[in-house]
């Protein structure tokens, strides 16, 4: 009897054991598929689910997303991380409107020309939307292919990546009709069975001819990423309060937290009061130090040192499109970096001194007046 191919076994396993109830499944709509694929880059399914639902509620189609402001898109994305994805998402939506008449493309050649869509993402969208044959290589699939074919080395190495692409292409099913189930299946295998540690080889449909398993090298393939000490950066945050509002500054469109609203940053050796006066024409009291905040990025570690400045006088109200005075509850609806959002939420609590306490006092006063 002829042995089933790798693809045939993956397809059969996916149809019986794979994931079928995720909100972006069971659709051929390339817009919804694209949105999920971008959100799932370097982000777990459980984290993506609520963001995906909220995004679709606000932007049900590519025209709605293209018509939105990038500020609104970033506000919906806030907390999901890797914010360049949101910028690319918005730019790609506008490309679809201008270059494709608002019709989202379904073929990988057109998809890969859109902002932020690489080879693997384009192939995944085309596979789910139209059954196009094409290999994918997200992080989980790289691990499945590397182990099954015993591809040595770390997948980020160009030579290793090229070898993985060749192997992934050789494993594709013959039938276009099998492509959606195969693409989902190989993703599911990597996400739920072929785990980085303690993989479930007993439940894997392709374990019998997995070279890494046969050779006892599951833990060695793929090779771990070379250890590299991440550099550390430290900055001072200015939490400037005036008339029960805080000052927020719009960050540049590129770089860390690009396009988000945040608290102004200064170097550790800069005097906060002098900088507030120079940049915003603000005369403030002596700063109060708040607990430091540690935040990790892919390539470096960041320590934030918040300094609270209560303003005595504002010379010109800081009229600038890149600066806003907002109550905390209004600030929290903007696109904010997650550590800044967490800090502001903590400050909004009634037991906090300053803005949160003042807000609680105002609310209590209104309740007392109403009851009296």
Residue 224 falls inside a structural domain: no
Query: Structure tokens of 287?
Result: 């700063």
| pLDDT on residue 107 | 96
Looking at the structure, do residues 134 and 200 belong to the same domain, yes or no?
Answer: yes
Q: Which residues are bridge partners to 242 per DSSP?
A: 245
Stretch among 62-71, 243-252, 358-367 having the lowest mean pLDDT: 358-367
pLDDT of residue 366: 35
Residue 137 predicted with pLDDT over 90:
yes
How confident is the model over 150-199, as pLDDT tens digits?
999 999 899 999 999 999 999 999 988 999 999 999 999 999 999 999 99
Of the residues 37, 132, 249, 275, which is catalytic? 37
Q: How many CB atoms lie within 10 A of CB 203?
A: 13
| Within a domain: 220 | no
97 token code pair: 């409107």
**How far apart (Å, rounded) are the C-alpha atoms in residues 202 and 291?**
48
Here the CATH number for the domain that contains residue 177 is 1.10.340.30
> How big is the chain by its Cα radius of gyration, in Å?
25
Residues 295 and 351: their CA atoms lie apart, in Å, by 25
Angle at 160 between CA 154 and CA 163, to 5 degrees: 145
CATH number at residue 337: 3.90.79.10
8 A C-beta contact, residue 70 and residue 259: yes
Q: Does the residue 225 lie in any domain?
A: no
Instruction: Output the DSSP codes for 65-97.
Output: HHHS-HHHHHHHHTTS--THHHHHHHHHHHHHH
d(C-alpha 97, C-alpha 299), whole Å: 35
Residue 2 sits at φ, ψ, to 5 deg, of: -70, 130
How far apart are the C-alpha atoms of 60 and 303, rounded to whole Å? 38
* 0.75 surpassed by pTM: yes
Indicate if 210 and 293 belong to the same structural domain.
no
Domain assignment present for residue 223? The answer is no
| Neighbour-count burial of 94, counting CB atoms closer than 10 A to its CB (0-12 exposed, 13-18 middle, 19+ buried) | middle
Which residue reads 């507030």 in tokens? 276
What is the rounded average pLDDT of the residues 356-362?
44
Read off the tokens for 344: 């502001």
Share of the chain above pLDDT 90, in %: 67
User: What tokens appear for 270 in the block?
Assistant: 């800069």
Q: What does the pLDDT average to over 343-361?
A: 64
Least confident interval from 39-43, 166-170, 272-276: 272-276
Query: How many domains does the chain divide into?
Result: 2
Q: Any residues with CB less than 8 A from the CB of 61 and at least 6 apart, and which?
A: 31
Lowest mean pLDDT among 163-167, 180-184, 246-250, 346-350: 346-350
What is the model's pLDDT at position 282? 82
Confidence of residue 224 (pLDDT cuts 50, 70, 90): confident
- With 90 as the cut, is the pLDDT of residue 274 above it? no
Residue 349: the pLDDT is 79
Which range, of 266-275, 290-299, 343-352, averages the lowest pLDDT? 343-352
- pLDDT(362) > 50: no
Contact 37, 111 (CB under 8 A): no
- Average pLDDT on 35-64 reads 95
Distance, in Å, from the CA atom of 285 to the CA atom of 263, rounded to the nearest integer, reads: 18
Over residues 68-82, the mean pLDDT reads 91
Task: Determine which of 40-54, 81-95, 225-239, 304-318 has the lowest per-residue pLDDT on average.
Answer: 304-318
* Domain limits for position 315: 232-371
Residue 111 lies in a domain: yes
Q: Which of 144, 179, 214 is the last residue of a domain?
A: 214
Question: Is residue 90 included in any domain, yes or no?
Answer: yes
> Could you give the CA distance from residue 49 to residue 57 in angstroms, rounded to a whole number?
13
Same domain (yes/no): 14, 147: yes
Q: Which residue has the tokens 């594709």?
A: 172
User: Is 226 part of any domain?
Assistant: no
| Residues 204 and 293 both lie in one domain | no
Pairing mode, if any, of strands 293-296 and 301-314? antiparallel
Residue finishing a domain among 167, 182, 214: 214
Which range of 174-178, 358-362, 367-371 scores highest in mean pLDDT? It is 174-178
Provide the b/e sequence for 141-163 (b: ≥16 CB within 10 Å): bbbbbbbbbbbeeebebeebbeb
On whether both 172 and 25 belong to a single domain, the answer is yes
Co-location of 335 and 194 in the same domain: no
Give me the pLDDT at residue 184, please: 96
pLDDT the model gives residue 79? 87
Q: Is the pLDDT of residue 144 over 90?
A: yes
The verdict on whether 286 is a catalytic residue reads no
- pLDDT score, position 351: 61
Q: How far is CA 165 from the centre of its chain?
A: 25
- My answer on whether 61 and 152 are in the same domain is yes
């Amino acid at each position: 009897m002829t042995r089933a191919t790798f693809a045939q076994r993956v397809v059969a396993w996916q149809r019986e054991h794979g994931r079928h109830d995720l909100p972006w499944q069971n659709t051929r709509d390339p817009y919804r598929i694209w949105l999920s694929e971008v959100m799932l880059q370097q982000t777990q399914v459980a984290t993506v689910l609520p963001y995906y639902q909220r995004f679709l509620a606000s932007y049900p189609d590519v025209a709605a997303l293209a018509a939105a402001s990038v500020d609104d898109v970033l506000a919906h994305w806030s907390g999901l991380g890797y914010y360049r994805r949101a910028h690319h998402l918005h730019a790609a939506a506008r490309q679809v409107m201008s270059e494709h008449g608002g019709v989202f493309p379904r073929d990988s050649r057109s998809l890969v020309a859109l902002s932020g869509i690489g080879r693997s993402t384009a192939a995944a969208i085309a596979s789910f939307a139209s059954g196009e044959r094409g290999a994918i290589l997200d992080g989980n699939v790289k691990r499945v292919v590397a182990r099954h074919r015993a591809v040595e080395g770390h997948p980020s190495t160009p030579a290793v990546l090229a070898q993985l692409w060749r192997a992934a292409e050789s494993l594709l099913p013959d039938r276009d009709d099998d492509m959606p189930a195969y693409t989902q299946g190989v993703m599911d295998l990597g996400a739920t069975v072929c785990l980085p540690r303690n993989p479930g080889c007993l439940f894997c449909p392709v374990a019998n001819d997995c070279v890494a398993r046969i050779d006892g090298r599951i833990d060695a393939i793929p090779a771990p990423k070379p250890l590299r000490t991440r550099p550390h950066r430290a900055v001072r945050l200015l939490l400037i309060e005036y008339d029960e509002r805080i000052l927020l500054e719009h960050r540049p469109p590129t770089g860390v937290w690009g396009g988000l609203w945040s608290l102004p940053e200064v170097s550790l050796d800069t005097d906060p009061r002098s900088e507030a006066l120079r940049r915003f024409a603000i005369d403030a009291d002596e700063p109060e130090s708040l607990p430091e905040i540690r935040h990790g990025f892919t390539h470096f570690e960041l320590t934030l040192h918040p300094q609270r400045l209560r303003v005595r006088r504002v010379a010109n109200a800081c009229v600038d499109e890149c600066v806003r005075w907002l109550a905390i509850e209004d600030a929290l609806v903007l696109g904010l970096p997650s550590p800044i959002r967490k800090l502001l939420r903590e400050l909004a609590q009634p037991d906090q001194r300053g803005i949160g306490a003042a807000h609680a006092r105002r609310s209590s006063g209104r309740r007392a007046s109403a009851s009296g």
